[in-house]
Amino acid sequence: MEEKTKDILVEVKNLKKYFSVKKGFFGKNTVYTKAVDDVSFYIRKGETFGLVGESGCGKTTTGRCITRLYDITSGEIYFRGKEIGRVKERSLKNIRKEIQMIFQDPYASLNSRMTVRDIIGEPLDIHNIGNESERQEIIYELLNKVGLKKEHSNRFPHEFSGGQRQRIGIARALAVEPSFIVCDEPISALDVSIQAQVVNMLEDLQKDMGLTYLFIAHDLSMVKHISDRIGVMYLGKIVEIASSKELYNKPKHPYTKALLSAIPIPDPDVTEKRQTVVLEGEVPSPINPPAGCRFRTRCKYAMDICKEKEPKLNDVDEEHFVACHLLKSSS
Ligand code: SF4
Specify the pLDDT at position 2: 47
User: Binning pLDDT at 50, 70 and 90, where does residue 94 land?
Assistant: confident
- Average pLDDT rounded to a whole number, residues 228-249: 96
User: Binning pLDDT at 50, 70 and 90, where does residue 199 land?
Assistant: very high
Per-residue pLDDT of 262-294, as tens digits, reads 776 666 665 565 666 777 778 898 999 999 999
- Average pLDDT rounded to a whole number, residues 84-92: 87
- Average pLDDT rounded to a whole number, residues 35-39: 97
Say if residues 49 and 227 touch (Cβ distance below 8 Å): yes
- Average pLDDT rounded to a whole number, residues 217-222: 87
Among 222, 284, 295, 290, which residue's Cα sits nearest to residue 253?
A: 295
Tell which atom from ligand 1 comes closest to the C-alpha of 305: 2
Query: Mean pLDDT of all residues in the chain?
Result: 90
Residue type, 271: T
Cα of 291 from ligand 1 centre, angstroms: 12
User: Binning pLDDT at 50, 70 and 90, where does residue 1 land?
Assistant: very low
Nearest CA residue ID for atom 5, ligand 1: 324
Cα of 326 from ligand 1 centre, angstroms: 7
Report the percentage of the chain scoring pLDDT > 70. 92
Q: Which residue has the higher pLDDT, 211 or 268?
A: 211
Domain boundaries along the sequence of the chain: 8-322
Specify the pLDDT at position 90: 80
Count of Cβ atoms closer than 10 Å to residue 317 Cβ: 14
In angstroms, the Cα distances linking 265 to 12, 67, 101, 247 are: 34, 35, 31, 16
Tell which atom from ligand 1 comes closest to the C-alpha of 327: 3
Tell which atom from ligand 1 comes closest to the C-alpha of 255: 6
Say if residues 81 and 7 touch (Cβ distance below 8 Å): no
Cα of 325 from ligand 1 centre, angstroms: 6
N- to C-terminal Cα distance for the chain?
11
Task: Please give the Cα distance from 71 to 19 (Å, whole number).
Answer: 10
Specify the pLDDT at position 299: 94
pLDDT score of 5 more than 70: no
Cα of 296 from ligand 1 centre, angstroms: 5
107: DSSP letter: T
Indicate the class that CATH gives domain 8-322: alpha beta
Cα of 301 from ligand 1 centre, angstroms: 6
Per-residue pLDDT of 140-185, as tens digits, reads 999 999 999 999 999 999 999 999 999 999 999 999 999 999 999 9
Tell which atom from ligand 1 comes closest to the C-alpha of 299: 1
Say if residues 41 and 218 touch (Cβ distance below 8 Å): no
Cα of 268 from ligand 1 centre, angstroms: 31
Report the percentage of the chain scoring pLDDT > 90. 70
pLDDT score of 27 more than 90: no
Q: Given ligand 1 and candidates 303, 321, 327, which is best to mutate, with the most ligand atoms within 8 Å of its CB?
A: 303
Pocket of ligand 1 (CB under 6 A): 254, 293, 295-296, 299, 301-303, 306, 311, 324-326
Q: What is the largest CA-CA distance in the chain?
A: 68
